[in-house]
Structure 1
Amino acid sequence: MPLFSIYFRHFQHSRNRNMANDANAQATTVIGWHHDADAAFAEARATARPVFLYWGAMWCPPCNRLKASVLSQPGFGSLGTAFVPLHLDGDAAGAQRAADRLQLRSYPTLVLYRPDGAEITRLPCELTGPRFLHLLQLALAAPLTASESLQAALSGQRALAADAWRLLAWYCWDTDEDRLLAGRDLAATLAILRAACDEPASALRLAWHALHAAVAAKAAPDQYQASAMLLRTLADPQAVLVQVDLVTGYAVELVRGLTAPQSAPRLALTAAWSDALEQLASSDALSPDDQLSALRVRVRMARLGSPVAGLDAASLNVRIGMALASANDHVRRHQILNTAAGLLVDAGLPDEAEGLLLAAVACSLAPFYFMHTLASVAKKRGDTVAMLDWYQRAWEQSSGPATRLQWGATFLLALLEATPAEAGRIGAVAAALLPGLEGMLDANCGRNGAQLTRMLSKLTGWNGASEQVEMLKKSLSAHVKE
């Protein structure tokens, strides 16, 4: 039976049960979230409590993983009295302007603030539930902010306690937005921290971060020493589990950056990495969606040279079916579907990915999100008509003002790239985008502003003629200059 049929049958049989479980999951969240930043910080000052901020979107798969694995769990709810919870949804009125003020961009971003508004730290969203809660407890009890700890570590004027090192090592550098770095070079800063750190697990994590930053900056680290450090970690099951987010997140970039194709060092590194990923993909310590994420990276390792046993279409379909069958709520299912589709595409099975998503679109938490993935599959297949149709449907069916603006921009940019001669269609989309743009108070802020800049740049270089496009360009110019 095809994978998408297995999924659809499972969904039909479990739909009523899942709806009940969704309600139960919501009930476990005893936290009363604020949705206004000013009100949340006012309460924090009045009650001398820190602010815990979650910035995300309903359609974002990592956000849904976070909600299912952490934010809806009783363990998180039990900490609720220790902080003022603030949830900023990217589509809420004024949210993109607030994001500019707080320097938030990527979904999800998690920040803990002191009552006076100073950032304590930015927390990684990829950790397993128990590890995240432990890190959050450390941050709530921390006598120093991450910035203060960084200053102390770089200056050498104050010895840091083990917990301070842990907060620096587990700081979310991916969502920093230059808040902690404040203009410093990431690779150089991490290398200094690694050399100064005397807490073993934190030193190892900082070493991985520093290596990844150096490779990204093409700073040419010593490849022998770097590979040796990676191989030691990958051979240690406990270390692999502790650093699971880095083992999965940094795999492809580090292998490509440190080894040459078909070389003996690459084959050794990909084989060791593949073994570690299979450990994670079968670990009871991870949720089914995290196991599937590890399997996806193992598929990508196979493309770089690792052994391919167990990565045939039938085996992958079984693993994906098991993960989908474990999903007991729509939120978690959304994350699993996203990972599964990406896994199938990475494995060279685009038709399987398309079938899975076509079956899922009608009953998904956010169908329009998967339409973008279907557009990507069509693009890989060379089907421009289908690609543009999916982008258009995603835009038309999307919800939320920021999402509609951003996804409308994605559709317009795809049209300009794929069919620049279709002035009529391009003009019609430009005309449809204009009312939403003019009526949005934070159109020039945050993720909105980034898309406006892209549209203006692309339209400025377009050689077609359209009155509607000229009107959109005029509006875009005014917003971008604000």
Structure 2
Amino acid sequence: MDGFDWFSGEPAAAFAHAHASGRALFLYWGASWCPPCNRIKADTFARPDFAELAQSFVALHIDGDAPGAQQLAAHYKLRSYPTLVVFRADGTEVTRLPCELAGGRFVKTLALALHATYTVAQSLSAALSRERTLSDDEWRMLSFYSWDTDEHQVLKNLDFAAALASMTRACTLDDAGLRLEWHAVHAAAMGGKAGIDQRSVIARICAALADPKTVCAQMDLVITYAVDLIRFLTEPGSDARAAFAQAWAAALETLISDPTLSLADQLSALRVRVRLARLGAPLEHMADLVRARVAASVAEVSEPALRHTVLNTAAGILADASLPEEAEALLVAELERSHSPFYFMHNLATIAKKRGDPVRAIDWYEQAWTSARGTATRLQWGTTYLQSLVDFAPHDAGRIDRLSGQIVDELSGMADPSSQRNATQLVRIAGKLGAWTGRSERAILLRQMALTLAA
């Protein structure tokens, strides 16, 4: 994150500085081990145009493991890593930006937000009520809003899929309307909603996928929504699924070889392309292709943040291509070099579970917990380790008892044990120990503590 100064100190002071200077504030909420955080740090935040634009706003970084960070997250409604929010100088929230955008697109969208006349919440209200005509830039802001990190800031209690469908019908800007429609269909897919005209939606999506310029502009959605929409809009084994998957695969091939995209984004497109091989779009010589691309990519990167996200995606590609041993070897070889080896240990545990080796999976979860750093991260990693013990070794009461005692000790020393992401872990702990039939005094204490703090 070189090239400009991130505000250091209390967030309240950053907001006060923004207010006093009349500048907007850009907030980045993240964690050192988070691959999307590392991607945006290595790509977008390192861009000269981002650094230049940063001269016009106050840049605030809140690390999820900083003291009291989860309390701050509750105040600003932050949860997922990363969450990227633009505020006016007076502290009014303007919008939340999706981290998956290509670097150049992100900078352009951020610039729109910095000069926006209306907040996204105001534009959404007008779009749904039809109380006034929205400008093209308002539609752009709505189409590039980070719905995944909204935390009910804009949507409140609205029906997500219905709101997006309504905006799609009202949108007067073609590019924005296309994004909104894809968001709407995906929301319907995730909500299990019926009533979608599948043929017409597939036809419109395929037309977009056939246009390289549209594919590049829609890069984030082409990558993120491929598998979900193919499964939602077509039947397994059908000719329609095969044709749709092949159309999507061709679009992904465009992204995989696009020199304007970052290496991380090219690899993300390749990973989805590999997954489509199981949905009707075979990939010739897949194993050899994947091995060659992964080896070249890993050899190319050395900067820690970029390497972290590249290694994570590369291991995922190998695993998805039915090469789990090679994915495992890649991750193990990276542990000594990585700035967040405990993150990769979770991936190694997943590989062990899929291989049918729960003992090895538990061992990786234990190593991850032992080496994890940061209060919120340690609680999350400890919870996952505890869950693996209850699931795969419920008879090992001694191990569960020891881990429960360690978590109790760490909770007792935390400033914000019941806030935001920490509260999520407490709910997981209480539920898992509540279902455990073993006996442990410290496990009982931990469950009671989790229930009390999460209440």
Q: Same fold (TM over 0.5)?
A: yes
SS at match of 1:79: helix
Do structure 1's residue 271 and structure 2's residue 246 form an aligned pair?
yes
The one-letter amino acid of 2:300's match is: S
Does residue 260 (structure 1) correspond to residue 206 (structure 2)? The answer is no
Pairing 1:309–2:264 present: no
**Structure 2 CA distance, aligned partners of 1:51 and 1:35?**
14
Tell me how far apart the structure 2 counterparts of residues 170 and 215 of structure 1 sit (CA, whole Å): 19
Letter in 2 for 1:209: H
Shift of the alpha carbon at 1:432? 1.1
Measured after TM superposition, the shift of residue 305 of structure 1 is 1.2
Instruction: Indicate whether 1:459 and 2:433 are aligned.
Output: yes
CA distance in 1, matches of 2:123, 2:445: 51
Corresponding residue SS for 1:71: coil
Match of 1:471 in 2: 445
Query: Which of 232, 251, 256 is 2:207 aligned to?
Result: 232
Deviation, 1:73, is 2.4
* Residue number in structure 2 paired with 1:283: 258
Aligned match of 2:90: 116
Q: Match for 1:209 among 183, 208, 220?
A: 183
Please give the root-mean-square deviation of Cα atoms over the aligned residues, in Å: 1.1
Matching residue within 188, 197, 200 for 2:162: 188
Count of matched residue pairs: 454
1:321/1:35 CA distance change after superposition, 3 Å: farther
Question: 1:86, 1:30 → 2: CA distance?
Answer: 11
TM-score by length of 2: 0.98
1:292 maps to 2:264: no
1:437 aligns with 2:411: yes
> Pick from 297, 300, 318: which aligns with 1:323?
297
Q: Is the 8 A contact 1:293 1:339 kept in 2?
A: yes
Report the secondary structure of 1:70's partner residue: coil
Question: Deviations for 1:350-378, whole angstroms, at most 9, x for unmatched residues?
Answer: 10100111111111121111000000000
SS at match of 1:440: coil
Task: Report which stretch shifted further, 209-218 or 236-245.
Answer: 209-218
Q: Distance in 2 between matches of 1:328 and 1:360?
A: 12
Q: 1:388-408: per-residue Cα shift (whole Å, max 9, x none)?
A: 000000010011111111101
C-alpha offsets along residues 384-442 of structure 1, whole Å, 9 cap, x if unaligned? 11100000000100111111111011100111111111111100110111111011111
- TM (normalized to structure 1)? 0.93
Find the residue that maps to 1:250 and give its secondary structure: helix
User: Could you tell me which amino acid in structure 2 is paired with residue 396 of structure 1?
Assistant: T
Q: Aligned to 2:61, which of 83, 87, 91?
A: 87
- The CA distance in 2 between the partners of 1:353 and 1:33, in whole Å, is 38
* % identity of equivalent residues: 49
Secondary structure at the residue paired with 2:44? helix
Q: State the one-letter code of the partner of 2:117.
A: P
- 1:163 and 2:128 are equivalent in the alignment: no
C-alpha distance in 2, partners of 1:127/1:192? Answer: 24
**Contact 1:288–1:326, Cα closer than 8 Å, also in 2:** no
How far apart in 2 are the matches of 1:470 and 1:166?
52
Q: Using the alignment, how far apart are the partners of 2:368 and 2:132 within structure 1?
A: 53
Structure 1 position 135 matched with structure 2 position 109: yes
Distance in 2 of aligned mates of 1:256 and 1:243: 19
**Is the deviation greater in 447-456 or in 459-468?**
459-468
User: 1:3 matched to which residue of 2?
Assistant: none
Partner of 1:41: 15
- Following TM superposition, by how much is the alpha carbon of 1:35 offset from its aligned partner in structure 2, in angstroms? 4.5
Q: Using the alignment, how far apart are the partners of 1:344 and 1:29 within structure 2?
A: 34
Task: Name the CA distance, whole Å, in 2 between partners of 1:82 and 1:382.
Answer: 53
SS at match of 2:418: coil
Check whether the contact 1:36–1:86 (CA below 8 A) recurs between aligned residues: no
| Corresponding letter in the other structure for 1:263 | S
Could you tell me how far apart the structure 1 residues matched to 2:316 and 2:442 are? 37
1:348 aligns with 2:322: yes
* Distance in 1 (alpha carbons) for counterparts of 2:127 and 2:299: 47
The answer to whether the 8 Å contact 2:430/2:448 transfers is: no
Residues 9-30 of structure 1: per-residue CA shift (max 9 Å, x gap): xxxxxxxxxxxxxxxxx5x422
Residue 374 (structure 1) aligned to one of 343, 348, 356: 348
Q: Distance in 1 between matches of 2:264 and 2:94?
A: 30
Residue 51 of structure 2 is aligned to residue 69 of structure 1: no
Q: How far off its partner does 1:106 sit? A: 0.6
Pick one of 385, 398, 401 that aligns with 1:427.
Answer: 401
**Within 2, Cα distance between the matches of 1:32 and 1:56?**
13
State the Cα distance separating 1:31 from its structure 2 match: 2.1
2:425 is aligned with 1:448: no
Q: Specify the code of the residue in structure 1 equivalent to 2:87.
A: Y
Shift of 1:323: 1.6
Give unpaired runs (5+ residues) of structure 1. Answer: 1-25
The unaligned stretches of length 5 or more in structure 2 are none
Q: Which amino acid aligns with 2:24?
A: P
Per the TM alignment, residue 191 of structure 1 is displaced from its structure 2 partner at its CA by 0.7
Tell me if the contact between 2:62 and 2:69 (Cα under 8 Å) persists in the aligned partners.
yes
Alignment equivalent of 1:248, drawn from 190, 203, 223 = 223
SS at match of 1:87: strand
Letter aligned with residue 102 of structure 1: Y
Higher relative contact order (CA closer than 8 Å, sequence separation 6+): 1
Of the structure 1 ranges 447-456 and 110-119, higher mean CA displacement relative to structure 2 is found in 110-119
SS at match of 2:59: strand
